[in-house]
């Protein structure tokens, strides 16, 4: 039987501060630089040795490993050597994350949009969002730390717009033992489906009035003073795990990423950080020979990153914004924690691939909602943030930013069902004013009752079937044929 050995390579990982450039060891779980307070990224000191193998070696290895049967290699750690090559197999937590499908837009949808594209369905992760990629890595690191240090109590905390908390609670519930999960949510600003997830996983769910940004400030304050493990994407182990999205995308395209445009919704900016960093790594390793272009998408109701890049270069100053109600609620963030990472990586990205290789576009709430509905009417399962990506692609096409010879990959970051109440509001044309979304009747759908309940009274089963079938036939304009 073909078995794929667990990799023997071990890297030497360290945190690099994006503010002062200091390097810190990974014995402690750091979120910010102890010297200057800026955000960090994890790097492997031995990475240059990996370059010596040549790109084809890594392509072949990752392709062969796609058939691995060991649970530890079936998910995001297919890309072990370029993810977190300090973890031992026994610490790796695999709940079925990663390896999500790239689903080509149907001919009808492609025709409507005017470009060939695909959705990468990260809603098909175990907690139904891309956050599982990051949690698989962060929890594997935590398990290693618990084992090595003999810790007897680990309290994991995160602020969330819904999906981080769902993923954190799921992985904590599975890890069990000394690991406990606490999540902090903005009251009324996560969907009922998202709220049900950490509750079902048995986490302690705490709610605060306000928006995500308020919750984030509170957990940052707490993490700076108390011994807790912060699981927001400020935690760089999360970013490492989320880089697998870029690796899988390149692999699904057979490592050919020239003329590819990747669309990513931007909220706290952890995801786009990971996508940029992931593609840069593949490029450094010569696994891909061209960087795909990256389009970050924001709603006009939560667009601080868009505003920063829309300003002329010499006048750019980052200013947090006050968010207003958004159907892309999971990305409704006015002060993204990872913005400094994006700024640093976008600069590197543009230095390699040019100005047009990294862009941030703004879309309307109406376009986001219609992006989701249009995608799903064509066989996808896009969430509102996935809809935001389709809105972004349509805006990019309209503005002449994406050529006819280019291929787009849209990140559907979560499953449609998590955000289904927004579809319900649209179908009922009942959005509260602050969203600014009106229903277009051509996109509305509703069940039609064939009977009012009393009409069934007095009909025996045969009569009921006959009458129902006849009403259906009339509704559909069907005529009875002899064959019955």
Based on CB atoms, which residue is closest to ligand F0G, 288 or 414? 414
Chain contacts with ligand F0G (rule: CB under 6 A): 129, 131, 160-164, 233, 265-272, 330-331, 383, 385, 413-414
Q: Shortest approach of ligand F0G to residue 19 CB, angstroms?
A: 20
Based on CB atoms, which residue is closest to ligand F0G, 266 or 396? 266
Based on CB atoms, which residue is closest to ligand F0G, 264 or 285? 264
Q: Shortest approach of ligand F0G to residue 301 CB, angstroms?
A: 14
Angle at 162 (CA atoms; ends 205, 300), nearest 5 degrees: 140
Based on CB atoms, which residue is closest to ligand F0G, 98 or 265? 265
Q: Shortest approach of ligand F0G to residue 267 CB, angstroms?
A: 3
Based on CB atoms, which residue is closest to ligand F0G, 61 or 360? 360
Q: Shortest approach of ligand F0G to residue 130 CB, angstroms?
A: 7
Q: Shortest approach of ligand F0G to residue 173 CB, angstroms?
A: 17
Q: Shortest approach of ligand F0G to residue 42 CB, angstroms?
A: 16
Based on CB atoms, which residue is closest to ligand F0G, 126 or 265? 265
Based on CB atoms, which residue is closest to ligand F0G, 17 or 159? 159
Q: Shortest approach of ligand F0G to residue 234 CB, angstroms?
A: 11
């Amino acid at each position: 039987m073909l078995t794929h050995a667990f990799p023997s390579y071990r890297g030497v990982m360290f945190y690099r501060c994006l503010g002062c450039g200091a390097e810190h060891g990974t014995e402690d779980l750091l979120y910010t630089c102890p010297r200057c307070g800026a955000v960090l990224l994890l790097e492997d000191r031995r990475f240059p040795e990996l370059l010596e193998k040549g790109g084809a070696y890594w392509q072949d290895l990752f392709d062969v490993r796609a058939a691995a049967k060991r649970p530890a290699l079936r998910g995001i750690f297919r890309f072990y050597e370029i993810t977190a090559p300090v973890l031992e197999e026994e610490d790796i937590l695999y709940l079925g994350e990663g390896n999500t499908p790239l689903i080509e837009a149907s001919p009808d949808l492609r025709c409507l949009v005017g470009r060939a594209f695909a959705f990468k369905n990260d809603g098909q992760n175990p907690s139904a969002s891309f956050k599982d990629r990051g949690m698989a890595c962060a929890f594997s690191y935590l398990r290693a730390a618990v084992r090595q240090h003999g810790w007897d109590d680990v309290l994991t905390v995160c602020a969330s717009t819904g999906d981080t908390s769902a993923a954190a609670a799921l992985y904590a519930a599975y890890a069990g033992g000394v690991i406990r999960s606490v999540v902090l949510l903005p009251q009324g600003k996560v969907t009922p489906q998202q709220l049900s997830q950490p509750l079902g996983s048995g986490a302690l769910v705490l709610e605060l009035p306000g928006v995500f940004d308020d919750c984030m400030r509170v957990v940052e304050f707490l993490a700076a003073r108390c011994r807790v493990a912060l699981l927001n994407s400020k935690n760089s182990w999360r970013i490492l795990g989320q880089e697998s999205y870029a690796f899988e995308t390149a692999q699904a395209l057979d490592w050919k990423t020239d003329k590819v445009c990747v669309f990513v919704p931007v909220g706290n900016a952890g995801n786009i950080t990971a996508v940029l960093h992931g593609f840069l790594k593949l490029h450094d390793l010569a696994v891909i020979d061209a960087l795909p272009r990256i389009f970050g998408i924001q709603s006009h109701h939560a667009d601080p990153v868009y505003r920063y890049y829309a300003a002329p270069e010499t006048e750019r100053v980052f200013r947090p914004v006050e968010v207003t109600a958004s159907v892309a609620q999971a990305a409704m963030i006015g002060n993204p924690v990872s913005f400094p990472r994006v700024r640093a990586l976008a600069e590197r990205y543009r230095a390699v691939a040019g100005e047009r290789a990294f862009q941030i576009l703004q879309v309307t709430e109406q376009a986001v909602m219609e992006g989701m509905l249009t995608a799903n009417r064509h066989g996808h399962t896009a969430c509102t943030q996935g809809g935001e990506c389709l809105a972004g692609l349509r805006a990019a096409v309209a503005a002449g930013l994406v050529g006819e010879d280019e291929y787009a990959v849209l990140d559907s970051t979560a499953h449609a069902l998590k955000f289904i109440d927004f579809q319900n509001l649209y179908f009922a044309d009942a959005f509260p004013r602050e969203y600014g979304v009106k229903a277009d009747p051509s996109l509305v759908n509703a069940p039609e009752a064939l009977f009012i309940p009393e009409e069934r009274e007095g009909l025996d089963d045969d009569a009921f079937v006959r009458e129902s079938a006849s009403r259906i036939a009339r509704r559909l304009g069907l005529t009875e044929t002899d064959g019955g």
